[in-house]
Homo-oligomer: A and B are copies of this chain.
């Protein structure tokens, strides 16, 4: 399949959220124009994004809300339950296990890992905290699909190396570090410092 831009996938994800909202309100159809207005983009963009995957609409009418939602879930791979492990049970890790969005979207947290013996064996919000030395054993391909990395920046590369060696192919990285991984491993970064500096830049150059 043709390579799809990151930005496109992000927008699909946004469309799905709007569709779920519309679905909840009982709407049956939606136009690319309405979807665009909600997503802060253009109707042409919406149609182009969808066109990479097929033609799901009816001319003159728009898109069936439940059908398009279903198609997007399928495209985004949300038909199945993904299993997640969280590496690092510090403040961010703790906030993450409490985050409802995981379960809501079908992501299941299996366990958290830490090297602090005071934490190991305890649970956070029902999620067990295990010894980080068990990573290799637990993070094999069968057991976990996605690793969420919430360790200090200077430990991030070491831990991601272990995860990759264990067979993990997807990492959500909260550590402020640029991770080096093989090309078959996908990394998404959540980096607050970077976003803040983006705001600082914007304020300095427009404010």
Contacts and interface: CB of A to CB of B under 8 A. Distances in A.
Given A146-B196, A170-B199, A196-B146, A204 B76 contact: yes
A56 interface: no
Nearest to A6: B198
A165 interface: no
Number of identical monomers bound together in the oligomeric complex:
2
Interface stretch (A42-50, A112-120, A182-190): A182-190
A114 B14 CA distance: 27
Interface residues of A, number: 58
A75 B39 CA distance: 30
B186 A202 contact: yes
A146 B105 CA distance: 30
B197 A13 contact: yes
Contacts of A193: 13, 17, 101, 105
A197 B105 contact: yes
Contact of A188 (B95, B186, B198): B198
Pairs A-B, 10 closest by C-beta atoms: A77-B204, A95-B95, A186-B202, A77-B200, A170-B199, A188-B195, A13-B197, A13-B194, A101-B193, A76-B197
